[in-house]
Amino acid sequence: MMRFLAGVLLALAMAFPALAQTGPQRHVTAELVAERQGIAPGQTIHVALRQQIQKGWHTYWRNSGDSGEATAIKWDLPAGWQAGAFTWPEPRRLPVGPLMNYGYEGEVLLPMTLTAPAGARPGDQATLKAQASFLVCAEICVPEDATLSLALPITATPAPADPKWGGAIEKTLAAAPKPAGLTAVFEPRAAGVALAVTGPALKGADLADAYFYPFDSTVIDHARPQAIERGPQGLTLTLAPGYSFQAGKTPAGLAGVLAVGDKAYEIAAAPGAPPPGASGLGPPPAKVAGAADLGLAAAALFAFLGGLILNLMPCVFPILAMKAASLAGHGGGEQADARRQGLAFGVGSVATFLALAGGMIALKAAGSAIGWGFQLQSPPVVAVLALLMLAVALNLSGLFEVGTSLQGAGSGLASRGGALGAFFTGALAVVVAAPCTAPFMGPALGWALTQTPGAALAVFAALGLGFAAPFVLVAFAPGLLARLPRPGPWMDLFRKALAFPMYGAAAWLAWVLAQQAGAEDLATLFTAAVVVAFAAWLAGLAQRRAAQGGKPFVLTAGAGLLAALAVAAVVWPQNKAAELQFEPYSPARVSELRAEGRPVFVNYTAAWCVSCQVNDKVALSTHAVASAFARHKVAYLKADWTKRDATIAAELASHGRAGVPLYLVYGSKGGDGVILPSILTPDVVVKAVEAADGPAS
C-alpha cells in the first residue's frame, strides 16, 4: 500500500509539474493592514498580518501538527510603541498521507494589538516595520520572508475604521476561538486520553464533527481519529496520546481549541475524571431535565418511536432497498414465506441492537469512552462494511449471484435469500443505521446508558422492535402484501436499479474512512475494492460455467482467495517501517565518501516539510529501500534544514531549488549527482541506488 500511495502522489506531481518547480516565485503575498485609519496617543488598535496564499499551498497555525512551522513576525518599532502576539483564527485540518497538519489556505488575517505611546504627537506619521517569516507548503515546502511596513497617521482623537480592512479584522476577531466558560478535564485511559468538556455553550450544538486542536504539538497523535461521545451537557473526545503521555507521564494541563460546528472555543483542561453529563455513558447527573427524568416505560416508548423513524434516515435506505426487493418478490401470494422472512428480519434487527448495546456496556465497564454508533469509529470496521456494500451492489447489478443460478435470476428472485438472508439483512441494516440517530432516540438512549444493564437492554430491544416493525407488519398483512405487484421480468430491472443506493453507501463509507484514517488507508480501501470487484466477476464467471456443465473449481477458489485477501488488507495492520541509519550532511563528508568509491544518497529535508515526512514514511522507511542501501553499501546523509543553514541553502540553490525536499544520488564511479523526483516511491529509490552502484555482486 505504501508503494501504491506513493505512486499516486508521483502521478499527481507529474500531472502538475509546476508544483515541483523551484524558482524565485513567491507563494504568499503578505502585507500589514490596520483596522483604523490612524491611531491616537496612548490608544490600542488592531493591525493584522494578511497572507494571500497561492492556490494549492498553505501556511501553518501556532501548532502546525505533524510537520510544518508556524508563521512568525518580528517588529522593528519606534521607541514606546508596543505590539502584541497573534490572535490565531481557527485552523483547517490538512491531512497529507499519514500526517495531519493544521494551517490556512487562501486568504488569512492574523490580528495583533498595537499600542501607541502617550507621547506620540498628533499630526505626525508613524512608520512601523516588521519582518515576517512563514513556511508555505504544497508538495514541497519553501521558507519565505517578507519585509513589511505600515504607515499610520497619529490623530488627536480615535480615528474612524478603515473602510477596507476594519470590518474584516473585526470579523476575524469575533470568530477567533476564545474562552466561553467551558469546564474541561482529561484522564488517561486504556483506549486513549479522555478529554471531557461541558458547559452551556455546548448544549444543543452540532457535535458531529467536534475536533480538538492542541496548542502543544506533543500531547496527542494528530493523525489518529478523535472518537466523539455526546452527552446531555457536553462531550468526551478520546484522543490518541502523544509523547507527553509516554512512560506513564501525565502533563500538567491540556490546552487548545475545541471546534464545534461553525464555532471554536479556547479550553484549558486539568487532570481529572470526566464529570457526569459529558458523555452518554457513566453515572447520571444528580438532576438533569430531559433524559434523566424518563422512566423505563417512557424510554422504551421513545426508543420504539425512534426505531420507526430510523427507517426514514438516508443512511438506511440502501439496506432497506434490499429488503424491499425481497418483499416485492412475494407480491400476490406466498404469504407463508413472506411471514418467515419478516420475522427473520425482525429477529436480526433486534438481536443486532442488543449486541451493540452489550458491546457498549462492556466497553464502558472496561474504561473506554465510546458512544452510540461506535462501530463506525473503527477504521477497519468501516473499511470492511464499505467492501460489503460494494459486494452487495455488484450482486444486485448481476455480476454474480448468491443462492440462485443465473438462469433463475429473473423469475426465481422471489425465492432468493430465504429466512437466513432476511436475518442478515436486518443485522446489516442496524449496523449501518446506528450512527443515524433519529428523533426520540437521543433521550431514550441517554437514559438507557445511565441505567442498569437490564434496563438498557430493554430500551435497545424496543428500539429494534420499532426499526423492524414496518417490514414485519407488511409481511403479516395479507392485504398489504397482495397490493404488491406480482413477480415478473420487471423485477430484474428493479433489482439492478437498487444497486445504485448500495454503490452510494460504499462511497459514503469510503468518505468516512478518509476522515478517520487519511489518504493512506483510503488508498488501501480503493485497491481492495478493485480486488473485490475482480473476485465478484470471477465468481459470476464460475457460476456461468457451472450452469453450462463445466467445472469452475479454480475460478471459485480464486474468487474466494481474492476476496479474503482484500478483507485482510483493510483489517491487518501495516508492517512496521524499517529505519535507515544516517550521518549528518556536510559537503566535506560527501567528498570523503565519494573518494572512497561509495554510492551516496543525500536527503535534503526539514521537520516542517510535509512532503519530506511523507516520503520518509512511504518510501525511505521501507524494507525494500533498507535492503538496497545495505546491499550496495550506500552512505545515507541527511541535510537537515529545519533551522536555517546557509550551506544547505547554497547547495539547494546550486541545483535550482529554493526549498525541500531534494534527493541526490552520487554514483560509486564519480559523475554528477542524479536528482530524484520530489515524490518518492520505494521502486524509484531502489532503481536509483542500483544504477549508482551497478548490479549487486
- C-beta atoms surrounding 378 within 10 Å: 15
Distance CA 336, CA 618 (A): 57
Shared fold status for 17-173 and 183-271:
yes
- C-beta atoms surrounding 573 within 10 Å: 6
Predicted confidence at residue 485, as pLDDT, reads 54
Of 251-255, 484-488, 601-605, 640-644, the one with minimum mean pLDDT is: 484-488
Whether the CB-CB separation of 628 and 685 falls below 8 Å is answered with yes
**Backbone CA torsion sign across 16, 17, 19, 20:** positive
Query: Strand 600-605's sheet: what is its strand order?
Result: 583-584, 635-640, 600-605, 662-666, 674-675
Distance CA 550, CA 560 (A): 18
Instruction: Tell me what the mean pLDDT of segment 278-289 comes to.
Output: 43
Second-level CATH architecture of 183-271: Sandwich (2.60)
Could you tell me the pLDDT band of residue 679, with boundaries at 50, 70 and 90?
A: confident
Could you tell me the pLDDT band of residue 357, with boundaries at 50, 70 and 90?
A: confident
For domain 583-693, the question of CATH label 3.30.465.10 is answered with no
DSSP state of 204: T
Predicted confidence at residue 488, as pLDDT, reads 56
Angle at 650 between CA 648 and CA 655, to 5 degrees: 100
Cis (ω within 30 of 0) for the bond into 117? no
Angle at 381 between CA 378 and CA 383, to 5 degrees: 110
Predicted confidence at residue 21, as pLDDT, reads 33
Nearest to 370 by CA among 261, 230, 204, 186: 230
For domain 17-173, the question of CATH label 3.40.640.10 is answered with no
Asked if residue 413 has pLDDT above 50, the reply is no
User: Quick check: helix, strand or coil at residue 259?
Assistant: strand
Predicted confidence at residue 320, as pLDDT, reads 53
Residue spans of the domains in the chain: they are 17-173, 183-271, 291-571, 583-693
- C-beta atoms surrounding 132 within 10 Å: 21
Predicted confidence at residue 182, as pLDDT, reads 94
Could you tell me the pLDDT band of residue 351, with boundaries at 50, 70 and 90?
A: confident
Distance CA 54, CA 76 (A): 27
Asked if residue 372 has pLDDT above 80, the reply is no
Distance CA 149, CA 158 (A): 21
Distance CA 630, CA 623 (A): 10
Proportion of the chain above pLDDT 70, given as a percent = 75
Asked if residue 401 has pLDDT above 80, the reply is no
Asked if residue 9 has pLDDT above 50, the reply is no
Query: Strand 125-137's sheet: what is its strand order?
Result: 72-76, 125-137, 141-153
Nearest to 233 by CA among 282, 306, 171: 282
Nearest to 560 by CA among 528, 532, 541, 527: 532
Whether the CB-CB separation of 543 and 403 falls below 8 Å is answered with no
| E strand or H helix at 78 | none
Instruction: Tell me what the mean pLDDT of segment 492-497 comes to.
Output: 71
Predicted confidence at residue 125, as pLDDT, reads 93
Of 13-22, 107-116, 301-310, 557-566, the one with minimum mean pLDDT is: 13-22
The cell 418511536 sits on which residue?
Answer: 305
Per DSSP, the chain holds a count of helices (H) and strands (E) of 19, 22
Distance CA 641, CA 658 (A): 12
Within 13 Å of residue 359, how many CA atoms lie on the same side as its CB? 13
pLDDT in tens, 157-197: 999 999 999 999 999 999 999 999 999 999 988 778 999 99
Predicted confidence at residue 547, as pLDDT, reads 81
According to DSSP H, which parts of 368-498 are helical? 379-396, 418-433, 441-448, 453-476, 478-483, 490-497
Distance CA 9, CA 610 (A): 13
Quote the mean pLDDT of the chain. 79
The cell 433486534 sits on which residue?
Answer: 350
Whether the CB-CB separation of 140 and 131 falls below 8 Å is answered with no
Higher pLDDT, 182 or 278: 182
Nearest to 55 by CA among 19, 122, 105, 123: 105
Distance CA 409, CA 400 (A): 10
Predicted confidence at residue 459, as pLDDT, reads 82
Proportion of the chain above pLDDT 90, given as a percent = 33
Could you tell me the pLDDT band of residue 313, with boundaries at 50, 70 and 90?
A: low
- C-beta atoms surrounding 525 within 10 Å: 27
The cell 517501517 sits on which residue?
Answer: 577
Of 366-370, 575-579, 692-696, the one with minimum mean pLDDT is: 366-370
Could you tell me the pLDDT band of residue 571, with boundaries at 50, 70 and 90?
A: confident
- How far is the CA of 7 from the CAs of 403, 408, 607, in angstroms? 40, 44, 23
pLDDT in tens, 95-129: 877 788 999 999 999 999 999 999 999 999 999 99
Instruction: Tell me what the mean pLDDT of segment 556-575 comes to.
Output: 81
